[in-house]
Structure formats: C-alpha cells, structure tokens
C-alpha cells in the first residue's frame, strides 16, 4: 500500500475511533434521587418520577455530564442526580424587545435536510463552504448540528419583518431549538415528560 494512502486510512481511523461513541437512550424506573443512569453506552432515563416541585431533571445537565466522561467503556456507570429547579426565563420585563436578525442562507446545509446523519464534521458542509458540527443524537448515531438559519420558521420570521428584527423571546426560543435539535430529535416519550428543558423547548413559540 502506498505510504500516502496508509496515512489517509490511519487518519480516518483515528478520527472515527477518537469519538467516544453516542449513548443509546431508553426509559426505566430508577430511584427518585436520579434523573438518569449511564451504563456503558446505555443511558436510562427515569420513567418513574415525580419529584417534588422544587426539583427537576434537565437534558443539558445530562449531556454536559456525558461529555465530561472521558471514555465510555462497557463498565462505566454514572448516575445523574436530581437538581433544584431553575427559575423560568426572565427577560427582566424586556420581553417585547426586538433584536436585529437577518436570515443567512449561507449557514444552511449545502446538501440534504435536518436531521442529517453524519460521521465527521465534513459531512455537514454548509452553503458557504464551511463545516458544521457532527454531534451525538441519543439513538446511538451522529447528526449534523443545525445553525439557527436552518431552523424552520427563522427564515419566514426574519422575512416577515422588513426591518430584519425579531422579538427577543423568539430569538431565545430559536437559539434553544438549535442547542437541543440533535438531542431531542430522537428522544423517547418518557424523556420529554421528565426533562423540564426539553418540555420547554417542545412548547410552541411564545
């Protein structure tokens, strides 16, 4: 095998194998102290709430903790504790504020639509020629992380307003949709009920 080809094969292998691997999510009853439990690559969401009203589970917490676990091995076990519930979004009374926003086609996928399966960032080519990010979904597979311009509704809303503005609370809602898009696409029903931030995200636009 020519040396150059060997290098390419090696590089590809490293880029695939250095990814920790995506968790596969499902539901099962756990202790009320925990939101979820990671067991190897199996992530179990607690299907047996309720907790008291002051406590809750968030998807962000689970994903953040998951990303901090350096290497998932078949024996890795981790419990995600229930946390005090944060206050809902507070715009300080400024929720009628508008921000400037102009839809930019350059930030949308060059090919295909979301959810778009991927293996490496290069699979997530944008119209402008840059690459997006290839992130874990919760079904064990990777998907391209959309930019806000690829979220349904953003284009229409920015076009509706001749001055290219959008209500601040709509902006926050779309931004959240971007952050949660890849994860929530593949969540089971019990997770949507349990995770307050997913529930919030799944709400219709304010």
Ligand X SMILES: *[C@@H]1O[C@H](CO)[C@@H](O)[C@H](O)[C@H]1NC(C)=O
How would you class 36 by CB atoms within 10 Å of its CB: exposed for 0-12, middle for 13-18, buried for 19 or more? Answer: buried
Which residue lies nearer to ligand X by CB, 107 or 141? 107
Nearer to ligand X among residue 47 and residue 158 (C-beta): 158
Residue 128 makes contact with ligand X by CB under 6 A: yes
Pick 98 or 155: Cβ nearer ligand X: 155
CB 166 to ligand X: min, Å: 16
Q: Which is nearer to ligand X, 73 or 106 (CB)?
A: 106
Spell out, one character per residue from 47 to 86, where the chain touches ligand X: x when CB under 6 A holds, - when not. Answer: ----------------------------------------
What are the b/e assignments for 163-194, b being 16+ CB within 10 Å?
eebbbebbbebbebbbbbbbbbebbeebbeeb
- 106 lines the binding site for ligand X (CB under 6 A): yes
User: Minimum CB separation from ligand X for residue 128, in Å?
Assistant: 5
Residue 145 CB contacts under 8 Å (≥ 6 apart), including other chains: 124, 132, 133, 134, 135, 178, 181, 182
Binding to ligand X by residue 7, rule CB under 6 A?
A: no
Of 22-51, binders to ligand X (CB under 6 A) are none
Q: Which of 42, 47, 95, 104 binds ligand X (CB under 6 A)?
A: 104
* Cβ distance to ligand X smaller for residue 101 or 143: 101
DSSP letters, 31-98, are -TTEEEEEETTEEEEE-S----TTEEB-HHHHHHHHHHSS---TT-EEEEE-EEPPPPP--TT-TT-E
Binding-site size, ligand X (CB under 6 A): 3
Nearer Cβ to ligand X (150/197)? 150
Q: How far apart are CA 14 and CA 11, in angstroms?
A: 5
Nearest to 23 by CA among 140, 120, 118, 117: 140
State the minimum distance, in angstroms, from the CB of residue 196 to ligand X: 36
Written as six digits, the tokens of 88 are: 């809902």
Least distance in Å: CB of 106 to ligand X?
A: 4
| Residues forming the site for ligand X (CB under 6 A) | 104, 106, 128
């Amino acid at each position: 095998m020519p040396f150059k080809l060997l290098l390419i094969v090696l590089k590809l292998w490293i880029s695939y194998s250095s990814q920790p691997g995506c968790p596969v999510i499902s539901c099962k009853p756990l202790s009320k102290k925990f939101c979820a439990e990671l067991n190897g690559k199996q992530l179990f969401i607690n299907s047996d709430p309720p907790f008291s009203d002051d406590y809750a589970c968030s998807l962000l917490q689970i994903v953040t903790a998951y990303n901090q676990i350096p290497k998932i091995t078949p024996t890795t076990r981790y419990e995600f504790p229930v946390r005090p519930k944060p206050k809902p979004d507070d715009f300080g009374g400024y929720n009628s504020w508008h921000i400037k926003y102009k839809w930019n086609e350059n930030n949308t996928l060059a090919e295909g639509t979301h959810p778009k399966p991927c293996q490496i960032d290069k699979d997530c080519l944008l119209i402008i020629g840059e690459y997006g990010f290839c992130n874990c979904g919760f079904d064990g597979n990777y998907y391209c992380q959309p930019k806000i311009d690829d979220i349904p509704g953003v284009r229409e809303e920015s076009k509706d307003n001749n001055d290219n503005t959008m209500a601040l609370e709509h902006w926050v809602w779309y931004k959240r949709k971007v952050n949660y898009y890849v994860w929530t696409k593949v969540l089971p029903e019990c997770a949507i009920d349990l995770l307050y931030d997913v529930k919030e995200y799944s709400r219709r636009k304010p």
